[in-house]
Amino acid sequence: MRFANPITVTVRRLAVDAFGDEAVAATFAVPGCGLAQQSADETPGDFRQEATTRLRLLAPAEADVRAGDEIVLPTGERYRIKGAPSAPLSPFTGWRPGVVADMEEVKG
């Protein structure tokens, strides 16, 4: 998968430490990515208002992204990968166009 105007995202691989807190285990850049807007919604409440934004990350086939990774966009926004990323493979040619991962950001 190649894009006319690709972006580079930063992957923060998180691990749980001995106290049950998340800590950054690795950080690395993934160039050549694209984004697709999935959805955005708000959940109003009496004591808080929650806004959820969902994006789809389109990354090169060799990208090492996993469920639970934190993705930092060039704008500084942080999203969490939800579920296992998929890497479709053509049964006819063996071509793998890239990795597709759904991400989510919750504020509020």
pLDDT of residue 108: 65
Domain carrying residue 55: 7-107
pLDDT tens digits, one per residue of 28-49 = 999 999 999 888 878 777 777 8
Domain membership flag for residue 99 = yes
User: Comparing C-alpha atoms, which of 95, 85, 74, 102 is closest to residue 10?
Assistant: 74
Q: Which residue has the tokens 């049950």?
A: 20
pLDDT tens digits, one per residue of 60-70 = 999 999 999 99
Domains in the chain, number: 1
CATH code at position 69: 2.40.10
What predicted TM-score, i.e. pTM, was given to this entire model?
A: 0.85
Phi, psi of 42 (to 5 degrees): -120, 145
Q: Which residue has the tokens 């894009």?
A: 3
Domain membership flag for residue 2 = no
pLDDT tens digits, one per residue of 44-89 = 777 778 888 999 999 999 999 999 999 999 999 999 999 999 999 9
Domain membership flag for residue 28 = yes
Report CA torsion sign: 64, 70, 71, 74: negative
